[in-house]
Amino acid sequence: MANVKQSSYLRDVLKRFFAHKLAMVGALILIVEILAILSLPSIMNLDPYSIDYMSFGAPPSPQHLLGTDNVGRDNFARLIYGGRVSLTVGIMSAIVSLLIGVPLGLIAGYFRGKTEVVIMRLADIFMSFPSMILILVLASVLGQSITTVTLVIGFLGWTEFTRLTYASVLSIREKDYVESAIAIGEKSKTIIMKYILPNSLAPVIISFTFRTAQAIITESSLSFLGLGVQPPDPSWGNILYYAQSISVLSNQLYLWVPAGILLVLTVLSINFIGDGIRDALDTKMSI
């Protein structure tokens, strides 16, 4: 019986999601982009690292669709591989934030008392501070590989997950089914994993999409400042780094505009999908 009800709820959610026009546009763009990023390198035999000694800063040509950068690397290959890096960093760091933030929110909301005060106070401290500044400091201290950039961005993005999980745990805790679970003497761990976590997932899923979008922006900003993903590894942010030179900015649009457009398009699509999921899940929340 429970099974039937669950599947019809899921069907409703999916139906609402597929009816959401912007979310569908976003999903379409993102799917095309991911397919391109995954398949083009082998189809077109792209290499973002190899240097063409015959052309430095060359304009677009049949060999180099978007020209070459000032070191003679193929810009189109860097754009595609940069997409891999930017998307991976975005998604992985959102996962890191989720893995830190959700358990802390569950603990704070379920156990209350001193743990609650400590965790939520810590969240306040992190939230009242410009995370960009802390990310800059951390990235400079820990060094700037793709892994450390991912971890740093992920580590500083936990507060939103904690806040949302905490809020929904507080309301779920008072529900009859949790009280009766406590009354029949279920272990705290079982209650959290079996009753509280599944029922507080909706806001977590929604904020996961927005977090991913935000992480992609953060990574690209960091790389743009030269403090994120380091060349020769490409990322959309460090491709745009070259546009800090006024001659690249004014005369070699093909070097920087495509990376910027892909970046905006990706973040926009993820936000559209997030909006779609929010409307489909029909939770009253403001993110």
**CA pair distance 195, 211, nearest whole angstrom:** 25
User: Cβ of residue 222: shortest distance to another protein, in angstroms?
Assistant: 9
**CA pair distance 97, 143, nearest whole angstrom:** 20
Told to check if 121 binds another protein by CB under 8 A, we report yes
Cis amide prior to 232 (ω within 30 degrees): yes
- Grouping H, G, I as helix, E, B as strand and the rest as coil, residue 51 is strand
Told to check if 122 binds another protein by CB under 8 A, we report yes
Phi, psi for 153 (deg, rounded to 5): -65, -40
Q: Determine the interface stretch with another protein among 12-20, 49-57, 59-67, 264-272 (rule: CB under 8 A).
A: 264-272
Phi, psi for 51 (deg, rounded to 5): -110, 130
Told to check if 140 binds another protein by CB under 8 A, we report yes
For 189-231, list the strands marked E by DSSP: none
Q: Determine the interface stretch with another protein among 49-57, 61-69, 128-136, 170-178 (rule: CB under 8 A).
A: 128-136
Told to check if 141 binds another protein by CB under 8 A, we report yes
Q: Compare residues 149 and 243 and give the one whose CB is closer to another protein.
A: 243
Told to check if 132 binds another protein by CB under 8 A, we report yes
User: Cβ of residue 85: shortest distance to another protein, in angstroms?
Assistant: 16
Which residues 6+ apart lie within 8 Å of 142 measured at CB?
148, 151, 152
Q: Compare residues 45 and 250 and give the one whose CB is closer to another protein.
A: 250
Q: Determine the interface stretch with another protein among 12-20, 69-77, 158-166, 255-263 (rule: CB under 8 A).
A: 255-263
**CA pair distance 264, 216, nearest whole angstrom:** 10
Whether 164 and 158 have beta carbons less than 8 Å apart is answered as no
**CA pair distance 100, 78, nearest whole angstrom:** 32
Distance of CA 149 to the CA centre of its chain: 13
Told to check if 120 binds another protein by CB under 8 A, we report no
Q: Determine the interface stretch with another protein among 49-57, 67-75, 95-103, 244-252 (rule: CB under 8 A).
A: 244-252
Which letter does DSSP use for residue 73 in this model?
B
User: Cβ of residue 143: shortest distance to another protein, in angstroms?
Assistant: 8
Residue count (the chain): 287
Told to check if 91 binds another protein by CB under 8 A, we report no
Q: Compare residues 9 and 129 and give the one whose CB is closer to another protein.
A: 129
User: Cβ of residue 146: shortest distance to another protein, in angstroms?
Assistant: 19
**CA pair distance 220, 238, nearest whole angstrom:** 7
**CA pair distance 83, 88, nearest whole angstrom:** 8
* Binding test (CB under 8 A) with another protein, winner from 93, 131, 162, 212: 131
One-letter amino acid for residue 51 of the chain: I
Q: Determine the interface stretch with another protein among 52-60, 81-89, 124-132, 177-185 (rule: CB under 8 A).
A: 124-132
Q: Which positions lie near another protein, rule CB under 8 A?
A: 121-122, 124-125, 127-134, 136-138, 140-143, 213, 217, 220-221, 224-227, 237, 240, 243-244, 246, 249-250, 253, 256, 260, 263-264, 267-268, 271-272, 286
